[in-house]
Amino acid sequence: MSDDATFMLDGRPIRFVAGQSILEAATAAGTFIPNLCHHPEFKPHGSCKLCTVKVNGRASSACTTRARAGQEVASDTPELNRHRRTLLQMLFVEGNHFCPGCEKSGNCRLQALAYDLEMLNPHYEHFYPPRPIDASHPDVLIDFNRCILCALCVRASRDVDGKSVFALAGRGTAQHLVVDCPSGKLGDSDFAMTDKAAAVCPVGAILPKRVGFSVPIGERTFDVEPISAHAAHAAETRG
Amino acid sequence: MRHVAPTPPRRKLRVATASLAGCFGCHMSFLDIDERLLDLIDLVEFDRSPITDIKHCGPCDIGIIEGGVCNAENVHVLWELRANCKVLVALGACAVNGGLPAQRNHLDVGRCLTRVYRDRAGAAVPDDPELPLLLDKVRPLNEVVRIDFFIPGCPPSGDAIWKYLTDLISGRMPRLEHPMLHFD
Ligand code: SF4
Ligand code: SF4
Ligand code: FES
């Protein structure tokens, strides 16, 4: 496969290098495909399904599907965006997301995608699940109410920090994030503020302490520009 | 900031507003449309609302409700507005997802009441029939009645409220986008 092979994304040619996923190639070209559980530095997890596109008419996750020459990929369509909105709404009602009181508000990728896809309400009946907060660590707080089970912290701790502090336990609606130490408390684990796992949470579940509102609400990343425009600018800066 | 000018409807639209389990911040933000209130008053007249102090709602075109549903009285007011308004608008975070009051949802109401009232010396849980009974969980409006439109935000800005209402009054499909769409 030649290095300048292309596929079509919403009618526009996207160049890719062999081995890139559709999401990676689109991101490099400055075209935003909504995604939540993806991080360029980690192996794709393929769990949130926000990145679902149609490849030659078949639904596939853009983060786990290899780009191939000549593919016809549809992403920004009313049908796919409606499904994405539904996925977001389910994520909102499954946890406890009270944005006005959340330190991550304005920097949160879940919220930013909801803005971008014009999700005006969570639609479904709220679970209001009782979930704990773990404030045992001196530098980092975990608010399980906001965890969307994207496993980015799991991958970062295992693959970069070599510690495997986090894991996902349970199945279905009972699935939850656990801290791997006898007490289950972050403060008793060997987690450190400098870990990669401390810096990857896309939502307000893993939060550094004492910096909460150092950037005021209204001046944060996705207050300034929508997540799609932000992704396009990031691609420009990378060149 | 002025957005698309509203097209005047053929007659004045009747609007009701109510604040349920909210903090009145959304109504304050509504008043934040400032001098545009004068434009609005050419287009609408108010029925039941904290602004008019009318206590019960007659037939209306639009009902605007701030706050979620936390007690039996909230449910009755919401039913009254649903029965009388052609469209209902959920205004603000609490109306949309329960908001701050819903953060009590993981607590047991009975235990809260005994903790706050009975366990303190000389106090008892108030049982005056005038006091509405608390629901076990605070709910957003759309979990109790059908809601036609949602304006999120804590509170939504005056500009967002103005944009949404003028779209609605002019018969356009109301839309909120960056930077007016906010959950905080
Ligand atoms: S994590 Fe994101 S969506 Fe959830 S409450 Fe915080 S800002 Fe809102
Ligand atoms: S804590 Fe954050 S990074 Fe970890 S699984 Fe939950 S949402 Fe993902
Ligand atoms: S980003 Fe592809 S499934 Fe989550």
pLDDT in tens, A128-187: 999 999 999 999 999 999 999 999 999 999 999 999 999 999 999 899 999 999 999 999
Q: Is the pLDDT of residue B37 over 50?
A: yes
Contact B152, A100 (CB under 8 A): no
How much is the average pLDDT of A59-82?
98
Interface contact B56, partner A, CB < 8 A: no
b/e map A106-127, b = 16+ CB within 10 Å: bbbbbbbbbbbbebbbbbeebe
Rg (CA), chain B: 18
Determine the Cα–Cα distance for residues B42 and A207; give it in Å rounded to an integer. Answer: 49
Q: Say how many Å lie between the CA of residue A156 and the centre of ligand 2.
A: 10
pLDDT above 80 for B3: no
CB A152 within 8 A of CB A200: yes
Across the interface, whether the CB atoms of B100 and A101 are under 8 A apart is answered yes
> Which tokens belong to A118?
């014009």
For A117, nearest residue in chain B (alpha carbons) = B177
Burial A202-234 (b: 16+ CB within 10 A, else e): bbbbbbeeeeeeeeebeebebbeebbbebbbee
Q: Indicate which of A126, A133, A224, A230 best probes the interface with B, i.e. most B CBs within 10 Å of its own CB.
A: A126
In a domain, A181, yes or no: yes
Q: Is residue A87 part of a domain?
A: no
Q: How confident is the model at residue A95 (pLDDT cuts 50, 70, 90)?
A: very high
Task: State the complex-level ipTM.
Answer: 0.93
Instruction: Round to whole Å and give the CA distance between A205 and A222.
Output: 18
Q: Are strands A58-61 and A52-55 parallel, antiparallel or unpaired?
A: antiparallel
Q: How many CB atoms lie within 10 A of CB A68?
A: 14
DSSP state of B32: T
Of B78, B75, B74, B28, residue with least CA distance to B57: B78
A31 close contact with B: CB closer than 8 A: no
What does the pLDDT read at residue A2? 46
Strand partners, A21: A66
pLDDT of residue A67: 98
Pairing mode of beta strands A206-208, B85-91: unpaired
Report the nearest atom of ligand 1 relative to the CA of A103: 6
Index of the ligand 1 atom closest to the CA of residue A97: 5
Structural domain includes residue A157: yes
Least Cα distance to B31 among B136, B162, B129, B180 occurs for B162
Q: Does A12 contact chain B (CB < 8 Å)? A: no
Secondary element (H or E) of residue B166: helix B158-169
For residue A1, what pLDDT is reported? 46
* pLDDT at residue A105, as a whole number: 98
pLDDT (0 to 100) of residue A235 = 85
Contact by Cβ (8 Å): A180, A218: no
Contact A109/B85 with Cβ under 8 angstroms?
A: no
The reported pLDDT for the residue numbered A3 is 46
Alpha-carbon gap: A146 to the closest alpha carbon of chain B (Å): 13
Amino acid code (one letter) for B103 = Q
Give me the pLDDT at residue A173, please: 87
Atom 6 of ligand 2 has which residue's CA nearest to it?
A147
Q: Could you report the per-residue pLDDT of A31-49, keeping only the tens digit for each?
A: 999 999 999 999 999 999 9
User: Nearest C-alpha of chain B: how many angstroms from A115?
Assistant: 6
**CA distance linking residue A207 with residue A103, whole number of Å:** 8
| pLDDT tier, B4 (very low <50, low <70, confident <90, very high otherwise) | low
Sort strands B134-139 and B69-71 into parallel, antiparallel or unpaired.
antiparallel
Average pLDDT score over chain B: 93
Residue A118 near chain B (CB below 8 Å): yes
The whole-angstrom separation of Cα B9 and Cα B12 is 7
- In this prediction, residues A175-202 reach a mean pLDDT of 97
Choose among B108, B102, B116: nearest CA to B70.
Answer: B102
* Interchain contact B98–A (C-beta under 8 A): yes
Tokens 């796992």 sit on residue:
A197
pLDDT band at B30 (very low <50, low <70, confident <90, very high): very high
Percent of chain A scored above 90 by pLDDT? 93
Domain count, chain A: 1
* Atom of ligand 3 lying closest to residue A38 CA: 1
Q: How far is A220 from chain B (nearest CA, A)?
A: 12
CATH number at residue A156: 3.30.70.20
**Which residue is it, tokens 């401390």?**
A198
Answer positive or negative: Cα dihedral of A228, A76, A92, B79: positive
Looking at residue A120, its amino acid is L
Amino acid B9: pLDDT: 66
Per-residue pLDDT at A51 exceeds 80: yes
pLDDT of the residue at B2: 53
pLDDT exceeds 60 at position A101: yes
Nearest to A120 among B98, B100, B152 (CB): B152
Question: Which position has the higher pLDDT, A123 or B3?
Answer: A123
**Is the CB of B140 less than 8 angstroms away from the CB of A123?**
no
Is B137 part of the contact surface with chain A (CB cutoff 8 Å)?
yes
What is the distance of C-alpha A239 from the center of its chain?
23
> Would residue A51 count as lying in a domain?
no
**Nearest one of A129, A117, A122, A137 to A210, comparing CA atoms:** A137
Please tell me the predicted confidence (pLDDT) of residue A4.
Answer: 63
Query: Distances from the Cα of A59 to the Cαs of A43, A44, A52, B112, B122, in angstroms?
Result: 21, 17, 6, 49, 66
Beta bridge partners of B66: B19, B91
Q: Given the CA of residue A150, which atom of ligand 3 is nearest to it?
A: 4
User: In which band, very low, low, confident or very high, does the pLDDT at A107 lie, cut at 50, 70 and 90?
Assistant: very high
Question: Is the pLDDT assigned to residue B1 strictly greater than 90?
Answer: no
Q: What is the pLDDT of residue A238?
A: 78
Percent of chain B having pLDDT more than 70?
96
The sign of the CA dihedral A16, A110, A125, B73 is negative
Residue B158 pLDDT greater than 80, yes or no = yes
Cα separation, B90 vs B96, whole angstroms: 6
Architecture of domain B13-102+136-169: 3-Layer(aba) Sandwich (3.40)
What residues make up the domain containing A141? Answer: 101-224
